[in-house]
Amino acid sequence: MNAASAHRRAISPDEFAAFYDHSFPEVYRYLSAAVFGDRALAEDLTQETFASLVTAVREGRAETQSMPWLMGVARHKLIDHYRSNARERRRVELASWEVGEHENDQLCELDNVDPAVVVELLRNLSPSHRLVLVLKYLDEMSVEQIAAEIGRSEHATESLLARARHSLARSYRESQS
What is the rounded average pLDDT of the residues 129-146? 90
How confident is the model at residue 64, as a pLDDT? Answer: 81
pLDDT band at 4 (very low <50, low <70, confident <90, very high): very low
Q: Where along the chain do the CATH 1.10.1740 domains lie?
A: 3-91
How confident is the model at residue 72, as a pLDDT? Answer: 95
Q: Where along the chain do the CATH 1.10.10.10 domains lie?
A: 97-176
How confident is the model at residue 22, as a pLDDT? Answer: 95
Cα gap 75→132, rounded to integer Å: 12
DSSP 64: G
Question: Above 70 in pLDDT, residue 138?
Answer: yes
pTM of the model: 0.61
**Bridge partners of residue 61, in order along the sequence:** 8
Angle CA 95–125–51, to nearest 5: 115
Cα gap 144→153, rounded to integer Å: 8
Pick the CATH number of 3-91 from 3.30.70, 1.10.1740, 2.60.40, 3.40.50: 1.10.1740
Query: Is pLDDT larger for residue 30 or for residue 89?
Result: 30
The residues, any chain, with a CB within 8 Å of residue 117's CB and separated by 6 or more, are: 172, 175
Assigned CATH for 97-176 = 1.10.10.10
Over residues 62-113, the pLDDT tens digits come to 778 899 999 999 999 999 998 887 766 654 443 333 334 444 455 666 766 7
